[in-house]
Amino acid sequence: MENELKLAAGAMVTLGLATAALVVLPYIQVRDVKAPAGLKPYTSAEQRGRAVYIANGCMYCHSQQPRDRSFGPDAERGWGRASVPGDYVYDKPHLLGSMRTGPDLLNIGVRQPSKDWQLGHLYQPRAYVPGSIMPAYPYLFEAKEAAEPGEEVVKLPPGYGPRGQVVVPLPEALDLVRYLQALKRNYPVLPPEPREAAGPAAPAPAKAASGS
Ligand code: HEC
């Protein structure tokens, strides 16, 4: 009996420590994070687009967390500066993602602001990126003889639309593109890049200069 008690107590302590380290401490660390001045809350259309993003599993292939230069060349890839907790203040739930079958999308609104491109790429990625392995999402669109007044037509490269018909985005596609266009985390964050001032590389050039 004594051994069972020890086992149960040990299990509880281990569980308690794990919960403190992985749940409680991180929560305390980020609960007071304020939204950076440059970050706007999502509009209701963008929130709907976010739900479309979740429903279609975009995050299984796309992360939303550009890393610091010391971890990888994300900035060189054009994915933006390393993200900070404040960037996600309005993201509930956050969509950090862990897979990068496709590019990181936290700054896709900066990189590709074109609505026409985004709509066409969702309808058929291979019309824009030959050999792309991203799935097409034709069910977010409707093919019809002619667009009705007020409806917009997706401008696809020649040969990619259904023959003799036009492709019109459903509201889901329009909302999703609004959400993608809102993914912009390129405002300055405070404190500014902490590693710049006292980087270990700073004295090196001076030494090299005096030696030559
Ligand atoms: C099976 C993996 C996969 C899924 C699921 C997926 N994508 Fe992609 N995505 C990719 C790949 C690979 C690329 C790079 C090739 C290309 O641009 O088509 C890409 C590219 C993109 C780009 C262009 C990025 C850039 O930097 O040019 C956008 C925007 C995008 N995807 C949005 C989405 C959205 C929105 C969804 C969900 C509706 C989605 N993706 C689902 C794999 C995926």
* Residues whose beta carbon lies within 6 Å of some atom of ligand 1: 53, 56-58, 60-62, 101-103, 105, 108, 111-112, 125, 129, 132-135, 137, 176, 180
Report d(CA 185, CA 175) in Å as an integer: 19
Report d(CA 133, CA 177) in Å as an integer: 20
Residue 178's domain comprises 31-190
What is the pLDDT, as a whole number, of residue 30? Answer: 87
**Residue 136's domain is classified under what CATH number?**
1.10.760.10
Per-residue pLDDT of the chain (212 residues; tens, 9 = 90+): 789 999 999 999 999 999 999 999 999 988 888 889 899 999 999 999 999 999 999 999 999 999 999 999 999 999 999 999 999 999 999 999 999 999 999 999 999 999 999 999 999 999 999 999 999 999 999 999 999 998 999 999 999 999 999 999 999 999 999 999 999 999 988 665 566 555 555 554 544 444 43
**118 lies in some domain:** yes
Q: How many domains are there within the chain? A: 1
What is the pLDDT, as a whole number, of residue 196? Answer: 57
In this structure, how many other beta carbons lie within 10 angstroms of the beta carbon of residue 128?
17
By most ligand atoms within 8 Å of CB, the mutation choice from 59, 134, 183 for ligand 1 is 134
Question: β-pairing, 141-144 with 166-169?
Answer: antiparallel
Report d(CA 150, CA 176) in Å as an integer: 19
**164 lies in some domain:** yes
**168 lies in some domain:** yes
What is the pLDDT, as a whole number, of residue 197? Answer: 55
- Looking at the CA of residue 52, tell me the nearest atom of ligand 1: 38
**38 lies in some domain:** yes
| DSSP H helical ranges for the chain | 2-19, 25-30, 44-55, 108-111, 115-123, 171-182, 203-211
| CB of 170 closer than 8 Å to CB of 190 | no
Q: For atom 2 of ligand 1, which residue has the closest CA?
A: 61
Give the pTM: 0.85
**197 lies in some domain:** no
- Looking at the CA of residue 126, tell me the nearest atom of ligand 1: 18
What is the pLDDT, as a whole number, of residue 188? Answer: 87
Residue 83 burial (10 A CB sphere; 0-12, 13-18, 19+): buried
**24 lies in some domain:** no
**16 lies in some domain:** no
**122 lies in some domain:** yes
Q: For atom 41 of ligand 1, which residue has the closest CA?
A: 58
